[in-house]
Amino acid sequence: MNLINKHELQRLMEKCERPCVSIYMPAHRAGREVQGDSIRLKNLLNKAEEQLIAAGIRAPEALDMLEPTRQILTDTIFWQNQSDGLALFISGEFMRYYRVPLAFETLAITGGRFHLKPLLSLLTGDGRFFILALSQNEVRLLQGTHYSVDEIHLEHIPGGLEEALRWDDPERQTQYHTSSVTPQGESIRRATAQGRPAIFHGHGVESATEHKEQVLRYFHKIAAGVHEILAGEHAPLVLAAVDYLRPIYEQANTYPHLVEDGVPGNPEELSAQELHAQAWNIVRPIFDRVEERAVEEYHQLAGAGSDQASAVLQEVIPAAYAGRVKTLFVARGTQTWGVFDLDAQRVAVSDAAEPDNEDLLDLAAEYTLLHGGTVYAKEPDQMPAASPLIAVYRY
């Protein structure tokens, strides 16, 4: 399972060999509904097969194309490890799936490109963030949106200070445990919500300074792993940790979007949902301020008749392709079908979806994100102007 980011978006744009099948469905983490998820996917695959045949693909070829995905239907472990939504992309021998903290509407689309718009809310500038829940015993990295949260699987990151020290010095044989008393000269106080001390037994007495240096080395390993996972991201990262650990991690941190405020207390005592609720209260004002400034900038430019803002589809898409779009507002749940001719840099709009055309709003958002722009997916009645597509240019 892969994390949705700009690199994955580019991979999906490049890997599609016509015909391309895109499937979205809600999923469930536990309960009786999990069995229904497999049935739902089976029905969507049957619908995709019908679409492929209707598009001129021979029935045996359509069956072969979807067969690897159908093997998931009976994979018990797969269905026991879900999030709120499941997205699958199938093209030729390529198949990719994503578990995401977003409950999709059920959808199967076959066309000349993958249909990526339902994913864009995970990449837009109005509500996606990360939480790093950090203690000396465990590390959790969570991806959140306004309404949901999901834990990201961590690899090559030590699960705790003791493990990190073993990596540094396997001969050390450090033992680490908590105690309700503090033997003089033998222990240092551990910053936890309980306030209980940590005792290190090894080749000598550990001073507070030495312990802080060990924690810093541990945090450098975590920061390196987080930076690798979030490479290319611009979403805020909220740190959840006790006060003692926060400045130490800030010293190790290399991710440029770590926010100043954090979730206080011992995160080991908080569920993902509790961390999400507190972190959202921190990042929401950040999102609101940035979006308000973007709306103000559009109105100022549009009101002055500047050529640095546009709500004309035929102008915006070539600009997005060239990397000129700094901010894009796109109407959620709206499609405008057509074709973008790369050679002629010309947009042709169609009245309805056809085998060779694509959702042009989706396309504009993809190009904007790939070039480092910010996309806001809004309800149609919340758009800054009466248009499904509004752009502010870099130049």
SS3 assignment for 236-295: CEEEECCCCCHHHHHHHCCCCCECCCCECCCHHHCCHHHHHHHHHHHHHHHHHHHHHHHH
- pLDDT confidence of 319, banded at 50, 70, 90? very high
Q: Is residue 297 scored above 80 in pLDDT?
A: yes
- CA dist 241 and 331 (Å) reads 38
- pTM for the full predicted model: 0.65
Contacts 24+ apart (CB under 8 A), 66-69: 66/21, 66/90, 68/95, 69/45, 69/95
More confident residue, 242 or 2: 242
Quick check: 8 and 97 in contact, CB under 8 A? no
Quick check: 176 and 162 in contact, CB under 8 A? yes
Tokens of 344: 């002629």
Share of the chain above pLDDT 70, in %: 87
SS3 337: strand
More confident residue, 245 or 9: 245
- pLDDT confidence of 123, banded at 50, 70, 90? confident
The pLDDT value given to residue 289? 92
- Closest Cα partner for 218 from 163, 285, 154, 150? 163
Q: Is residue 142 scored above 50 in pLDDT?
A: yes
More confident residue, 319 or 187: 319
In CATH, the architecture of 307-393 is 2-Layer Sandwich (3.30)
- Closest Cα partner for 378 from 146, 126, 144? 126
**N-term to C-term CA, the chain:** 38
Quick check: 197 and 189 in contact, CB under 8 A? yes
Quick check: 254 and 223 in contact, CB under 8 A? yes
Q: Is residue 11 scored above 50 in pLDDT?
A: yes
The pLDDT value given to residue 188? 35
pLDDT per position as a tens digit, 349-364: 998 877 678 889 989 9
Class of domain 6-122: alpha beta
The full set of domain ranges for the chain reads 6-122, 129-285, 307-393
For the residues of 156-183, what is the DSSP string, one character each? Answer: SS-SSHHHHHHHH-TTS--EEEE-SS--
Containing 62, the helix (H) or strand (E) segment is helix 59-70
- CA dist 293 and 309 (Å) reads 14
- pLDDT confidence of 130, banded at 50, 70, 90? very high
- pLDDT confidence of 253, banded at 50, 70, 90? very high
Residues 6+ apart with CB under 8 A from 293: none
Quick check: 64 and 92 in contact, CB under 8 A? no
pLDDT per position as a tens digit, 43-94: 999 999 999 999 899 999 999 999 999 999 999 888 887 888 999 999 988 9
Computed on alpha carbons and rounded to an integer, the radius of gyration of the chain in Å comes to 25
Residue 132 CA to its chain's centroid (Å): 14
Q: For residue 394, which phi and psi values (nearest 5 degrees)?
A: -70, -35
Q: Is residue 244 scored above 90 in pLDDT?
A: yes
SS3 118: helix
Residues forming a β-bridge with 129: 144
Q: Is residue 163 scored above 80 in pLDDT?
A: no
**Average pLDDT of the chain, as a whole number:** 85
Quick check: 144 and 279 in contact, CB under 8 A? yes
Tokens of 130: 């990360």
Residue located via tokens 């959620």: 332
- pLDDT confidence of 147, banded at 50, 70, 90? confident
Q: Is residue 204 scored above 70 in pLDDT?
A: no
- CA dist 74 and 72 (Å) reads 6
313-321 helix and 360-370 helix, angle to the nearest 10 degrees = 30
Quick check: 218 and 165 in contact, CB under 8 A? yes
Q: Is residue 224 scored above 90 in pLDDT?
A: yes
More confident residue, 17 or 169: 17
Does a cis peptide bond (omega within 30 degrees of 0) precede residue 318? no
